[in-house]
Structure 1
Amino acid sequence: MGCAADLARTIPMIVATIDHGLRPASAEEAAGVAGLAARLGLTHRILAWTGPKPAARLQEAARAARYRLLAGLARETDADLVLTGHTLDDQAETVLMRLCAGSGPAGLAGMAPSRVLDGLTPDGPTLGRPFLGVPKARLVATCGARGWPFVRDPSNADPRFGRARLRRLMPRLAEEGLTPERLARLAGRLRRDEAALAQAAASALGDLRRPQPGGEGPLTLDGPGLAALPDALALRVVGLAVASLRGEADQGGPRAYPPRLEQLERIVLGELLPALRGGKPCRRTVAGLLLAAGGGRLALSPAPPRRPPATDPA
């Protein structure tokens, strides 16, 4: 916020504090931020996360609520940019968390320096992370030198949360050479490679699409063309095809969960591609979609409803 005050002379700016209501001191801390904003001559808003809180995956739900509230404020005030204070240390912890969760290149690319905030429209407000390459210790030292108070969130050291447990391991990992800087550098490299793979997959998907009679029906891909691609690219093409059909289905019905990478790898690499390459039929269901390989094609369509389990007569 202190750094933002230097820009506020030329750029209209609003400071927002999210009060998640998870700790007794949260309201007082938010008020303290409001006071500092006033001292720096900045407009400030407190946004409260109200309603029941989940018992499981609390930090994930809090993060989703935080970005939802920020996106709402940005739309309300016609702001086109939302800045957060994520640091290089946060990036390193994110990469470690996703590594533990079994993420692929997209997940290990970490947090993007900028992205569309709400993900609903391509012209929505942009989320920017200007300090993503700056160590947290440097920001803390800057606050001390400039006399800006800051609060240490106790949940950052709460062993109930995976991020806090990994944070405690970071000094030990750094002793072996796995420093936050190297983890952040890994994220940058994977983000670069991921962007190239995504572009190649989008181009391949467009080339492999085949028309349907009457212009309607399932999405169909050329089987030999798909089977000739490297596995990494073929996997991404099928993932994009699944995502495109799921996006259309979400608009007219219940939202389905996206397939996990392990599931997609098992079905695409372990079953569909071998079937296409061997000229054998194969039908599998992924994220509410039926993927049918056969006749030189891979067809994707909504999966038929499951039959209810049979019951024995009384």
Structure 2
Amino acid sequence: MLSLTSADALLAPLAEETALLLAVSGGPDSIALMLLAAAWSLRARVRIVVATVDHGLRAASREEALFVGGEAQALGFEHRLLLWAGEKPSTRLQERAREMRYALLADCAAEIDPRCAIVTAHHADDQAETILFRLCRGSGGAGLAGMSAVSTLLVHSARSQRASKSVRLLRPLLEAPKAALEAICAEAGRAYVTDPSNLDPRFARGRLRSLAATLAAEGLDRDALLRLGRRAARAEAALRHCAAEVEAGARIEGDAAPARFKAEALRGAPDELLMRLIERQVAHFGLAPRLDRLERASQRVAGALARREAARMTLAGALIDVDEDFLSFRPAPPRSRHM
């Protein structure tokens, strides 16, 4: 069973960092993250700041944020209270709240240190829930692999939607069950808050949580979902490797990114690998295409290659051209920056 003495093992992936921003909402998982950081033997070598986002969506949110501030200061951490000000959207509330949360955290991390990474308390139960959520939405292999322990997030600044920045996101507790993190809070004698919106049936995740017992009875419990995630991650790694080989073999030597590719080398390539090549090249224009749009563009490219026909299309800010000899990418004209 995990305890505060597990701090060094759990936080070992953070050992090379110079500055960390802990995202602490006040729930048992994030309070446990803060307690583990306080018990970490390398704590003195790393600047650690705690941040709480007050979305202003519930009457108790400010009181909960102040509670976290008191707990953080009691443990010797500087605390930042980040506010989502202004009018709230009437649709896609949870999605937009998540976007704003990471925007506020990214701005805060940049103020602390240009190298500062954000650390969240996502745990094994969160991972299983994420895999289930993506499964319900027909995600591809990358989505079913779940969250990564280390990832880079491209976010808009909370101060200006025109400015964007990338920030590293670290999740050192992904293999820890939620019950173990609650036990760490109990071991330390620390209280935590419970967000009632976690079970709110208005939101998809709340509805999925209400089905947890039924799904578990049919064999789709946390461990089964995590097993699915590990297998999807393994398949995803193999596909990335194969896609890189196809890309390297088709690239026009000397071309900088985004590159041109030899059409002949791509004819007959599996659809999945061609789609990944397109996705990687489009990413150079700064936007991530939706999977359904990426699939449609990939099908058009594959068809044009097979028939040795010319084709032109736009995808997420990129203009894609196919002819008998080349597949090429360049910025789309302003009026064509959507597909």
TM-score (norm 2): 0.76
Displacement after TM superposition at 1:162 (Å): 0.7
In the other structure, the counterpart of 1:103 is: 139
Q: C-alpha separation between the residues in 2 aligned to 1:198 and 1:207?
A: 14
AA in 2 matched with 1:238? I
Displacement after TM superposition at 1:86 (Å): 0.9
Which of 177, 180, 183 matches 1:135?
177
In the other structure, the counterpart of 2:58 is: 23
In the other structure, the counterpart of 2:37 is: 4
Displacement after TM superposition at 1:260 (Å): 2.2
Q: CA RMSD in A?
A: 2.9
* Higher normalized contact order (CA 8 Å, seq sep 6+, divided by chain length): 2
Q: C-alpha separation between the residues in 1 aligned to 2:332 and 2:233?
A: 33
Displacement after TM superposition at 1:224 (Å): 1.6
In the other structure, the counterpart of 1:77 is: 112
**Per the alignment, in what secondary structure is the counterpart of residue 211 of structure 2?**
helix
Deviation track 1:64-87 (CA, whole Å, cap 9, x = no partner) reads: 222222222222222633221111
User: Which structure has the larger Rg?
Assistant: 1
In the other structure, the counterpart of 1:228 is: 268
Q: How does 1:54-203 map to 2 (within 5 A)?
A: 54-78=89-113, 80-118=116-154, 126-203=168-245
Q: C-alpha separation between the residues in 2 aligned to 1:272 and 1:94?
A: 32
AA in 2 matched with 1:44? H
Displacement after TM superposition at 1:42 (Å): 2.4
Q: C-alpha separation between the residues in 2 aligned to 1:209 and 1:96?
A: 37
* Residues 75 and 300 of structure 1, relative CA distance in 2, 3 Å threshold: closer
Q: C-alpha separation between the residues in 2 aligned to 1:286 and 1:12?
A: 41
Deviation track 1:2-45 (CA, whole Å, cap 9, x = no partner) reads: 11211245543222111111111101011111122233232222
AA in 1 matched with 2:131? V
In the other structure, the counterpart of 2:282 is: 242
**Structure 2 residue ranges without an equivalent (≥5):** 1-33, 157-164
Displacement after TM superposition at 1:132 (Å): 0.9
In the other structure, the counterpart of 1:272 is: 301
Contact 2:102–2:155 (Cα < 8 Å) also in 1 = no
* Residues 126 and 283 of structure 1, relative CA distance in 2, 3 Å threshold: closer
Between Structure 1 and Structure 2, how many residues are aligned?
A: 292
Matched, 1:263 2:318: no
In the other structure, the counterpart of 1:49 is: 84
* Residues 211 and 90 of structure 1, relative CA distance in 2, 3 Å threshold: same
Larger mean Cα displacement after TM superposition, 175-184 or 276-285? 276-285
Q: C-alpha separation between the residues in 2 aligned to 1:26 and 1:179?
A: 31
Matched, 1:39 2:81: no
AA in 1 matched with 2:100? A
Q: C-alpha separation between the residues in 1 aligned to 2:147 and 2:125?
A: 11
In the other structure, the counterpart of 1:298 is: 327
Displacement after TM superposition at 1:304 (Å): 5.6
**Per the alignment, in what secondary structure is the counterpart of residue 13 of structure 1?**
strand
Displacement after TM superposition at 1:200 (Å): 3.7
Q: C-alpha separation between the residues in 1 aligned to 2:172 and 2:259?
A: 40
**Per the alignment, in what secondary structure is the counterpart of residue 148 of structure 1?**
coil
Contact 1:21–1:50 (Cα < 8 Å) also in 2 = yes
AA in 2 matched with 1:21? G
Displacement after TM superposition at 1:233 (Å): 0.9
Larger mean Cα displacement after TM superposition, 234-243 or 280-289? 280-289
